[in-house]
A and B are shown apart, each in its own frame.
Chain A
Amino acid sequence: MKKLLVVLCASILVLPLCLFAAENAPTVTQASAVTKTTEASQVPAAPKEFVVYVDKSARVNHYIPSGWMGDYGDLKLNDQYMLTPHSGTTCMQFTYSAKKSQGQGWAGIYWQNPANNWGSKKGGFDLTGMTKLTFWARGAKGGEIIQKFLLGGIKGTYPDSASVELGPIELTDSWKQYTINLAGQDLSYINGGFCWVTTADLNAGGCEFFLDDIKFEADPTMKPEGKKQQGMPFYVFADKGSINNHFIPSGWMGDYGDMKYDGASNEDPYLGDSCIKIVYNGQATQGARWAGIYWQNPANNWGSVDAGYDLSKTTKVTFWARGAKGGERIEEIKVGGIMGEYSDSDTATIGPVILNKEWTQYTIDLKGKDLSYIIGGFCWATNIDVNPEGATFYLDEIKYE
């Protein structure tokens, strides 16, 4: 009885201290407080997992899904969806309408700590020791495409120490586990604990999907991933919403107000059910007298984000193009060539090209080039002088081979 009393007293004293520590020390060590621990007298074992979400309001959850991005008006979140969770009692249900409420064409959600922290506050966790992030996902119908899942990557005064992503992923209608390899990554400060992003192009008509059991894990069998050499063919554009598409046509240059981009044109595509239609009106809206678009990874990356693809296996880029009337002149078409903190490893150019009215295939020879790091996957540029009345043209089947 005496022993029981001592244990009870100790518990009353120790438990609040543990809880206090768990709430106030944002380091991975707090995870040990919620993981099965050894006896109090022993040194606690290194934490084996760090949970983002397992169930609605679970005490082990970390981070808040507060960073709604892009067309945030297109998003709905139910974080206590109770029908067929992967485990426990709830999972998270996301609905993306793809109505482009904010005119962005994409949307996504960041899990942050504290809520809405875009790097202005010091709230990141030290996740050193974790080697992978795992989560379970399923689509309502199957075929929903998430452009990428990622963690880290929040900038600001207190930037994340790493940024790792996975995708695009085409979901199935049954639960499936996905893993992001974190071995070798610097996880000493992670504010953006989890994130997903997708686009209207990839999900015309929107999509509904579910996530569950999101957690960091310390798995000693994980090995650091080298930069993965991409297999060929590697598409820049195959078809609208194709999971095979890479790079985003986000780098609008020069007179960006002179251009209209339609990545889902059905006006006589060369292959499949869509092609790219570009209208350049030559009005010199910004006074530059020229315009062009870079396809980048990720969107708007002018070399500030370390996210180049390793396309070393390629020997050429091919694409099909046609002009609405024929005679439209594109001054330059190129791959690579983005220079910044992280620069493309090489560049190759063709042009000027005078387009035919019929689909014509063009090739950029890449033999002897170093395509081991490419952020700028494709680019075209033209100007008023050679297109005084503007130019409407079409592109299709842009791919590295």
Chain B
Amino acid sequence: MRLSTNKKLVKKSEFKLQASGFRPLLLAACGLLLVAFLLGMANTSKAKVHIHIQKFKNGHYSLMVNRKPYIVKGVCYNPIPIGQYHQYDWWSDPNKPWIEDGKLMKAMGVNTIRLYQAHDNPDEVRQVIRDLYERYGIRTILGDWLGFWEYPCPLYGDKDFMDRIKKQVLEMVSLYKDEPGILLWILGNENNYSCLGHINPWSTEEIDKEPNPQIQKFMRAKIYYSYVNDIAKEIHKIDSNHPVALGNGELIGLDTASQFCPDIDLVACIIYRGKTFGNLFKSLKATFDKPILLSEFGADCYDAYLNKEDQNMQAFFLESQWRQIYENLAKNKEGAGNCLGGVIFEWTDEWWKHNENDPESWKVHDAESNWSNGSYYFDIQAQGNKNMNEEWFGIVALSEELENGINKRTPRKSYYVIREFWKKPILKKNNNKKENNKKK
């Protein structure tokens, strides 16, 4: 017993001896561990987020955030105050409207905002993204117009133009890819309409030589979608953590995109079809098997026929639209299973939209309609069938009264209706004619 005790003592003393010899090394190791731990702590506040799209065996798709399914419940965000217009720099507003908005969004259940284009000042952009994510858990979709609104018209056949825009997009990705609040990137918006020549038309010498206008259209689409594909591939090289979406007006041109833009991860479509998205989801599956994000959809809340605000009308359309979005999410047997969610257009009204050239009109909540869309049928009998009121798409109204330095926000009925829907999505409703009436 003693002997053994002594042995132990000997060993203990040997250890002490050895320990005293390695003390500096031990201290260094502990120090390193501490540094590593602290670095690790620092990284948890900027933890790497991995977002990807999962395709299931049944062909359905789901957006996965850190391996968990994520339904995009989004709003388009452009908080232009009353009296200002689209060039107003809200990013540097000392009153930080996104703080108040983020609080309201979180209470509603919004988990995503969409910003069409990042601001020039990266610090301000980061601040907005971080504030929304860190305070409210709201993620940001960041987009780029791909030069669509530049003057002269976008030149998707011009190498200098294309290189410049590509560089701009890749810079954006580099700047913000490590922000935990970033959800995904959207390239373009409705740029495909320029391939048809409907808006911002562009051409090349080769296209001009082609006599058949249908082939011309195809040539433009081929150039444009190949270009987007090229950018998407470049993004994937520098950022493997966020999906890249092709922004597209309706499904127009996606048959061509399926040939020339295979490297995008999803399509982000702008859809204004009123009560129903119709065959949208199945049609996409048949032409271009990619998941879809409804990146802009909604309804205005002004009855152009009766000339008065109608919040029921807006709520009716939005609820119906969200029901269809949910019906087509992954794992719903009756849907197409290719929808990832939606982004409502839009969070607040924008009072400048009716006439961007008249600063006086930016102070007025203009009720004159700008365009016609029969899908929003309650007020289609308005004069000239112009029933769409561009300044009245917000699910939150603005008033001239200031609160915390910004225009007071008042949620509309749709805010509450969609909040309740998100809490408890009820998909099946009787599809009878009474359903076509607004609920009062």
Q: Is the CB of A368 within 8 A of B287?
A: yes
Q: How many residues of A contact B (CB 8 A)?
A: 21
A132 proximity list for chain B (CB < 8 A): none
Q: Is the CB of B287 within 8 A of A339?
A: no
B211 proximity list for chain A (CB < 8 A): 354
- Tell me if B332 is interfacial: C-beta within 8 Å of chain A: no
- Tell me if B373 is interfacial: C-beta within 8 Å of chain A: yes
Q: Is the CB of B278 within 8 A of A343?
A: yes
- Tell me if A126 is interfacial: C-beta within 8 Å of chain B: no
- Tell me if A79 is interfacial: C-beta within 8 Å of chain B: no
Q: Is the CB of A340 within 8 A of B283?
A: no
In the assembly, what is the distance between CA of A244 and CA of B286, in Å? Answer: 32
Q: Is the CB of B283 within 8 A of A370?
A: yes
With contacts A341-B275, A341-B377, A343-B273 taken as known, whether A369 is within 8 angstroms of B213 at the C-beta atoms is no
A306 to chain B, nearest CB (A): 7
Within the complex, which residue of B214, B275, B278, B380 is in contact with A346, where a contact is CB–CB below 8 Å? B278
Interface residues of B in 366-413 (CB under 8 A from A): 373-375, 377, 380
Q: Is the CB of A345 within 8 A of B279?
A: yes
In the assembly, what is the distance between CA of A340 and CA of B375, in Å? Answer: 4
- Tell me if B117 is interfacial: C-beta within 8 Å of chain A: no
In the assembly, what is the distance between CA of A306 and CA of B273, in Å? Answer: 17
B213 proximity list for chain A (CB < 8 A): 329, 351-354
With contacts A344-B278, A346-B279, A370-B283 taken as known, whether A339 is within 8 angstroms of B214 at the C-beta atoms is no
B100 to chain A, nearest CB (A): 36
Q: How many residues of B contact A (CB 8 A)?
A: 22
Q: Is the CB of A303 within 8 A of B214?
A: no
Q: Is the CB of A339 within 8 A of B283?
A: no
The residue in chain B whose Cβ has the minimal distance to the Cβ of A368 is: B286
Q: Is the CB of B279 within 8 A of A370?
A: yes
Q: Is the CB of B380 within 8 A of A306?
A: no
- Tell me if A338 is interfacial: C-beta within 8 Å of chain B: yes
With contacts A368-B286, A369-B283, A370-B283 taken as known, whether A352 is within 8 angstroms of B278 at the C-beta atoms is no
In the assembly, what is the distance between CA of A353 and CA of B213, in Å? Answer: 7
A382 to chain B, nearest CB (A): 12
A326 to chain B, nearest CB (A): 13
Would you call the interface of chain A mostly helix, strand, loop, or mixed? loop
Within the complex, which residue of A338, A354, A369 is in contact with B374, where a contact is CB–CB below 8 Å? A338
In the assembly, what is the distance between CA of A201 and CA of B389, in Å? Answer: 41
B314 to chain A, nearest CB (A): 16
Q: Is the CB of A354 within 8 A of B212?
A: yes
The residue in chain A whose Cβ has the minimal distance to the Cβ of B273 is: A339
A79 to chain B, nearest CB (A): 34
- Tell me if B282 is interfacial: C-beta within 8 Å of chain A: yes
The residue in chain A whose Cβ has the minimal distance to the Cβ of B436 is: A341
Would you call the interface of chain B mostly helix, strand, loop, or mixed? loop
Q: Is the CB of A343 within 8 A of B212?
A: no
Q: Is the CB of B375 within 8 A of A352?
A: no
- Tell me if B361 is interfacial: C-beta within 8 Å of chain A: no
The residue in chain B whose Cβ has the minimal distance to the Cβ of A331 is: B213
The residue in chain A whose Cβ has the minimal distance to the Cβ of B432 is: A186
In the assembly, what is the distance between CA of A352 and CA of B279, in Å? Answer: 24
In the assembly, what is the distance between CA of A79 and CA of B423, in Å? Answer: 63
Q: Is the CB of A368 within 8 A of B274?
A: no
In the assembly, what is the distance between CA of A343 and CA of B279, in Å? Answer: 10
Q: Is the CB of B279 within 8 A of A339?
A: no
A351 proximity list for chain B (CB < 8 A): 213-214
B373 proximity list for chain A (CB < 8 A): 339
B344 to chain A, nearest CB (A): 19
- Tell me if A164 is interfacial: C-beta within 8 Å of chain B: no
In the assembly, what is the distance between CA of A28 and CA of B403, in Å? Answer: 62
A315 to chain B, nearest CB (A): 13
Within the complex, which residue of B287, B377, B433 is in contact with A340, where a contact is CB–CB below 8 Å? B377
- Tell me if B241 is interfacial: C-beta within 8 Å of chain A: no
A370 proximity list for chain B (CB < 8 A): 278-279, 282-283
- Tell me if B276 is interfacial: C-beta within 8 Å of chain A: yes
Within the complex, which residue of B217, B276, B380 is in contact with A343, where a contact is CB–CB below 8 Å? B276
Q: Is the CB of A352 within 8 A of B214?
A: yes
The residue in chain A whose Cβ has the minimal distance to the Cβ of B197 is: A352
With contacts A339-B373, A343-B273, A343-B375 taken as known, whether A369 is within 8 angstroms of B279 at the C-beta atoms is yes
Q: Is the CB of A339 within 8 A of B375?
A: yes
In the assembly, what is the distance between CA of A353 and CA of B433, in Å? Answer: 39
A343 to chain B, nearest CB (A): 6
Q: Is the CB of B374 within 8 A of A340?
A: yes
Q: Is the CB of A346 within 8 A of B374?
A: no
A303 proximity list for chain B (CB < 8 A): 374-375, 377
- Tell me if A350 is interfacial: C-beta within 8 Å of chain B: yes
- Tell me if A304 is interfacial: C-beta within 8 Å of chain B: yes
With contacts A329-B213, A346-B283 taken as known, whether A339 is within 8 angstroms of B433 at the C-beta atoms is no
The residue in chain A whose Cβ has the minimal distance to the Cβ of B216 is: A352
A306 proximity list for chain B (CB < 8 A): 433
Q: Is the CB of A343 within 8 A of B214?
A: no
Within the complex, which residue of B274, B282, B286 is in contact with A339, where a contact is CB–CB below 8 Å? B274
- Tell me if A125 is interfacial: C-beta within 8 Å of chain B: no
The residue in chain B whose Cβ has the minimal distance to the Cβ of A386 is: B213
A353 proximity list for chain B (CB < 8 A): 213-214
- Tell me if A302 is interfacial: C-beta within 8 Å of chain B: yes
B287 proximity list for chain A (CB < 8 A): 368
B259 to chain A, nearest CB (A): 15
Interface 1/0 per residue, B225-240 and A, CB below 8 Å: 0000000000000000
In the assembly, what is the distance between CA of A303 and CA of B436, in Å? Answer: 12
A370 to chain B, nearest CB (A): 4
Q: Is the CB of B283 within 8 A of A368?
A: yes
Q: Is the CB of A339 within 8 A of B212?
A: no
B75 to chain A, nearest CB (A): 24
A341 proximity list for chain B (CB < 8 A): 275, 377, 436
A selection of 29 A-B contacts at a CB cut-off of 8 Å is A302-B374, A302-B380, A303-B375, A303-B377, A304-B377, A329-B213, A338-B374, A339-B273, A339-B274, A339-B373, A340-B374, A340-B375, A340-B377, A341-B377, A343-B276, A343-B278, A343-B375, A346-B278, A351-B214, A352-B214, A352-B217, A353-B214, A354-B211, A368-B287, A369-B283, A369-B286, A370-B278, A370-B279, A370-B283
A: residues with CB less than 8 A from B are: 302-304, 306, 329, 338-341, 343-346, 350-354, 368-370
With A341-B275, A351-B214, A352-B213 known, 12 other A-B pairs at CB within 8 A are: A306-B433, A340-B274, A340-B380, A343-B273, A343-B276, A346-B279, A346-B283, A354-B212, A354-B213, A368-B283, A369-B279, A370-B278
Top 3 A-B pairs, shortest CB-CB distance: A368-B286, A339-B375, A352-B213
